[in-house]
A and B are shown apart, each in its own frame.
Chain A
């Protein structure tokens, strides 16, 4: 029997939004012991669906039509008091951002214990005893310590385990997970997914799992519903949808999921345009009267990039890959070692360095000044370097065309562009300086899968046309495999392993690389 049923649900957006309804005529059902994955890109309405079944719609949104039922009980008819008795006890939720989903001023034990204290009127001691047991069940190291810890003392993965322990505290009939692993590193993600699946099997919970990642779907789903622009376009068992999609949108989404297959290796130039030699960088945070433990972000890092090729630097958060990128473009000074571009050390003067190396940033929303026209931001670099303004502006138009944007769009402001388009502006801005080396710091990780594929294709095309040499920083091995010739795997500021990407991924020498590859969700389905 279905634990959670949603039928013909339509939720209206406030007036003035870009469409009338957040979701339209959505029907879903989750049975006991089943995981339903709701997949979609941003704006598909998948998160709105999740908050609707929790009875926590954002202000301004309202249910226009449809039915929701929990174990046969109509949810729409519930009074606010009745909803409170249901929420947490019979239907619980795990959110996306582990960093902000817990109260920073309250101990972990108190936050979990609250579930029993509020719903079952247990006393503090009994609640604490049960909270400890719950923390044990989610495999937190040192559960006694975690009980008294505050959220900021735990890592992201640990916090997400706390969230799961809290959500499952009262053995709810339905668990709603809204992108619970999106903010986590890939190995942590694998662990958390395994935990959710394990607990769900043992307790027979019905799980509604919201995600944008087909890899995660392949890893965890029993059934799949694909959403697009507020509608369910396809629904079926995981096997059906993943291996034999019927709807064109599902097919396109699946096609744009990168696999780990590297393209056949090509002959690379022997000219090493970028040499990073024994680079060392230590962060020391200093206050007037306190010193903290120094953090070694780069420890004797050496990598080389051959002209006209792409070198992937992959690693999880804290590996030092972004620090390396920032040292290479001169945004950060290094403590030891050398960055050599085109045979000469990276010049100290900003203006001289700008002609040698440029950077594409991760967040397409933060990397453009919201108050200046897009074209001006592309042209300003060449103008500062001495190009006459008129010529620089003409070049900016040409660059817009080159990266697949309308040349007339140079006069628009950043907010008028989509995320993918902004990333194209970022690329045009970097190319305007005609650099020898292009450093791309996670350039596609903030984008939807389909847009991600387009931007990767653009980079590939530009490399072929302009002979670009690209240092490509990413956390995603699949993305690296799409584009790169060689790879360097980093961990804790050290290069663990480096070599041609096909060879490294097919037969990793380092155990760490192996574990990274093993942790990729949906690997069985999407290759390698």
Chain B
């Protein structure tokens, strides 16, 4: 209960952050030359000033900046994200359609990176400065240095073009209509390469943090106590070191949620996944401000919710947090 209360307080504290983001983004977009109507009229192949005026009134662009911002924030309170001129649908609908692939991609990439980062980090720390450590640390450095979009392209070349093992893109096989287990497997097959591509750099980061954190915890006094109790090295690591060493990794999930969401823009574009990231890219190209602001809003909400979960997780792991010391 105290854990939940603490996490809720943290959640409440992120409200001003959210407002700050919205105000900042909105004002920033005001600096952009041209607006939705300009883009729309360019798409229609031009039009007269009266039509532009009409459209501006329709999209609420005819009043001052402050009023627009005020209106926008007020509408957000009712979760009304406005209307996308490009897609001809409410922004909320567009975003909702594009959300599931992105969330699925993030969860699978995060699980992949967290699990293997943890295991590899532990193995490296247990064999510090010997060949398994050298190998893992070197791999970590190389993974970290690999641009994700390039890795994705190369993965397509190797596993889709040459080996023909996995699909090169898309979220499902559109030539077949699978149901049940088959559909799940089909989606999973389509997610393998994107997951590896997005997760690679985070795998590198997690394994490096886990290794460092393990080494740090292994040098602490209570580990010496555990050894003095006559525990086997395996038990020392499993029962005493691991949980302590995981704390920085858990913190990192929250801190990097935004980075991962940013990474999905590129990865979704490489594998043509119909997700939020790709939508963001499209709306930048098409100057669809309403949609872009909506995506920013939803991304911020997503990052905040991830941090909420991470807070609860952290407090469960560390009893010192819940008691407030």
Contacts and interface: CB of A to CB of B under 8 A. Distances in A.
**Pair from one complex:** yes
Interface of A: 54, 56, 83-89, 92-93, 95, 97, 100-106, 114-115, 118-119, 150, 152-153, 163, 166, 288-290, 292
Interface string B10-36: 001100000000000000000000000
Nearest to A288: B13
Contact of B239 (A114, A119, A152): A114
Contacts of A289: 9, 12-13
A104 B231 contact: no
Contact of A100 (B221, B227, B229): B221
A104 B317 CA distance: 10
Contact of A150 (B12, B224, B319, B324): B319
Contacts of B42: none
A88 B229 contact: yes
The 3 nearest A-B residue pairs measured at CB? A88-B230, A87-B230, A100-B221
A93 B221 contact: no
Contacts of A84: 230-232
A330 to B, nearest CB: 29
B150 interface: no
B224 A87 contact: no
Contact of B228 (A88, A104, A150): A88
A103 B319 contact: no
B130 interface: no
A100 B216 CA distance: 13
Residue of A54, A83, A118 contacting most chain B CB atoms (<10 Å):
A118
B228 A93 contact: yes
B163 interface: no
Contacts of A101: 221-222, 224-225
A89 B230 contact: yes
Contacts, number: 83
Interface string B202-231: 000000000000000000111011111111
Residue of A83, A97, A104 contacting most chain B CB atoms (<10 Å):
A104
Contacts of A95: 221, 224-225, 228
B227 A87 contact: yes
Given A89-B230, A288-B13, A152 B224 contact: no
Contact of A102 (B12, B225, B228, B239): B225
A83 B228 CA distance: 10
B230 A119 contact: yes
B224 A103 contact: no
Given A92-B228, A100-B220, A101-B224, 14 more contacts: A56-B228, A84-B230, A84-B232, A87-B228, A87-B230, A88-B231, A89-B230, A93-B228, A102-B222, A105-B244, A105-B317, A106-B240, A114-B239, A152-B323
A292 B325 CA distance: 10
A242 B297 CA distance: 75
Contacts of B232: 84, 118
B235 interface: yes
B320 A152 contact: yes
Contacts of B227: 56, 87
Contacts of B75: none
Nearest to B226: A103
Given A86-B230, A152-B325, A104 B12 contact: no
B243 interface: yes
B318 interface: yes
A87 B13 CA distance: 49
A95 B240 CA distance: 17
A57 B317 CA distance: 31
A83 B222 CA distance: 19
A526 to B, nearest CB: 31
A95 B317 CA distance: 26
Contacts of B243: 105
Contacts of A119: 230
A115 B317 CA distance: 23
Contacts of B320: 104, 150, 152
Contacts of A104: 222, 244, 318-320
Contacts of B224: 56, 95, 101
Interface in B228-258: 228-232, 235, 239-240, 243-244
A232 B319 CA distance: 45
29 contacts: A54-B228, A83-B230, A84-B230, A84-B231, A88-B229, A88-B231, A92-B229, A97-B221, A100-B220, A101-B224, A101-B225, A103-B244, A105-B243, A105-B244, A105-B317, A106-B239, A114-B229, A118-B229, A118-B235, A152-B319, A152-B320, A152-B325, A153-B323, A163-B225, A166-B229, A288-B9, A289-B9, A290-B324, A292-B324
A84 B234 CA distance: 12
Nearest to A81: B232
B226 to A, nearest CB: 7
Nearest to B243: A105
Contact of A290 (B9, B221, B318, B323): B9
B21 to A, nearest CB: 18
Interface string B293-323: 0000000000000000000000001111001
A78 to B, nearest CB: 12
B229 A103 contact: no
Nearest to A84: B230
A105 B322 CA distance: 12
A232 to B, nearest CB: 24
A420 B325 CA distance: 34
A87 B225 CA distance: 11
Contacts of B226: 103
Nearest to A93: B228
B219 to A, nearest CB: 10
A365 to B, nearest CB: 19
Contacts of A115: 229
Contacts of B12: 289
Given A152-B319, A289-B9, A289-B13, A103 B228 contact: no
A53 to B, nearest CB: 11
